[in-house]
């Protein structure tokens, strides 16, 4: 005889249900903890790699100066060229460094105003024939015999006109920031692919931020040039005593000869030595 199934046959004991649920919850919590730990480790590695890449170039100085109705940027950077980049440079691959500058004015009622956002490209190349490094920027080309000298020239930004006086308001304070990085988009395609996976090719600096307040006397006329120095009068020297006039020389040889013949001595000599006197002065001759 077949027995009738009852609902109690399908019920799981409460103790066993709690044990199964506890085991499942424990496994899920452990998996979540391990996943969170792995994700945190990956994020820490990414942040460490980004920090290392950012410290490859260090911005040591940045300031703005007002010259000739324009604002000029002066900045200094410090970095060493990694061996991989130096080897590529010596093989004929040009490296492009980009200097970026931004000017922002915060506004509480709207988005921040960005009146200035500009960049400047600096090209570093090597000429195997002349064995010289060449730095090109803004139409200027400067040769260098050593790589260290070329890098020192790149690391110093001076006299770069970043904006005119019409872009800012006198008396306002702005947030200025500048940085330098290696422009990977200017490299050949094979090197761009290699640069993505190579840390040495990711040269970049952090933003160097500072507050700049525009002077209020921009409309003031330029200062007058200093007056020219007045020449000091030199005292005149005392006049030397007059020297006696020297006797005038004869004007010409004939005139001198005529004066000589007119003198008494010349007449006596001519009379004594004349042919007539010599003939007449011998006595006793017929």
In a domain? residue 218: no
Q: Is the pLDDT of residue 200 over 70?
A: yes
Quote the CA–CA distance of 192 and 202 in Å, as a whole number: 10
Output 32 or 25, whichever has higher pLDDT: 32
Q: Is 57 exposed, middle or buried (0-12, 13-18, 19+ CB in 10 A)?
A: buried
User: For residue 183, what are the domain limits?
Assistant: 54-213
Place of tokens 């792995």: 38
In a domain? residue 230: no
Structurally, the chain folds into a number of domains equal to 1
In a domain? residue 201: yes
Beta-carbon count within 10 A of 137 CB: 18
In a domain? residue 270: no
Quote the CA–CA distance of 54 and 86 in Å, as a whole number: 19
Q: Is 179 within 8 Å of 207 (Cβ atoms)?
A: yes
Express each pLDDT in 216-257 by its tens digit: 887 665 556 677 777 777 766 666 665 655 555 554 444 444
Task: Give the residue among 163, 188, 187, 185 at the shortest CA–CA distance from 176.
Answer: 163
Total residue length of the chain = 286
In a domain? residue 155: yes
Query: Which of 55-59, 70-74, 202-206 bottoms out in mean pLDDT, i.e. has the lowest?
Result: 55-59
Give the model's confidence band at 272: pLDDT under 50 very low, under 70 low, under 90 confident, else very high: very low
Quote the CA–CA distance of 39 and 31 in Å, as a whole number: 12
Identify the pLDDT of residue 23. 52
Indicate the pTM of the whole model.
Answer: 0.59
Identify the pLDDT of residue 266. 44
Q: Is 173 within 8 Å of 213 (Cβ atoms)?
A: yes
In a domain? residue 234: no
In a domain? residue 276: no
Identify the pLDDT of residue 248. 53
In a domain? residue 112: yes
Q: What is the mean pLDDT of residues 5-17?
A: 52
Quote the CA–CA distance of 235 and 156 in Å, as a whole number: 53
């Amino acid at each position: 005889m077949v027995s009738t199934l009852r609902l109690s046959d399908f019920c799981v004991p409460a103790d066993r249900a709690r044990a199964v649920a506890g085991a499942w919850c424990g496994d899920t919590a452990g998996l979540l903890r391990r996943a969170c730990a792995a994700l945190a480790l990956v994020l820490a590695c990414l942040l460490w790699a980004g920090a290392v890449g950012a410290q490859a170039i260090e911005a040591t100085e940045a300031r703005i100066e007002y010259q000739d109705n324009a604002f000029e940027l002066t900045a200094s950077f410090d970095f060493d060229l990694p061996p991989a980049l130096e080897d590529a440079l010596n093989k004929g691959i040009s490296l492009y460094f980009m200097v970026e500058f931004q000017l922002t004015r915060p506004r509480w009622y709207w988005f921040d105003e960005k009146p200035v956002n500009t960049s400047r490209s600096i090209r570093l190349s090597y000429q195997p024939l002349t064995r010289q490094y060449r730095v090109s920027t803004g139409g200027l080309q400067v040769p260098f015999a050593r790589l260290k000298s070329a890098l020192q020239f790149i690391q110093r930004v001076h006299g770069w006109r970043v904006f005119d006086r019409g872009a800012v308001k006198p008396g306002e304070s702005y947030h200025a920031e500048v940085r330098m990085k290696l422009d990977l988009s200017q490299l050949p395609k094979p090197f761009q692919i290699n640069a993505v996976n190579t840390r040495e090719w990711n040269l970049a600096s952090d933003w160097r931020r500072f507050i700049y307040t525009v002077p209020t006397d921009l409309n003031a006329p330029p200062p007058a040039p200093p007056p020219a120095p007045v020449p000091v009068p030199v005292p005149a020297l005392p006049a030397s005593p007059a020297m006696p006039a020297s006797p005038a020389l004869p004007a010409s040889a004939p005139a001198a000869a005529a004066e000589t013949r007119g003198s008494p001595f010349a007449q006596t000599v001519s009379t004594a030595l004349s042919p007539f006197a010599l003939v007449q002065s011998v006595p006793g001759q017929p």
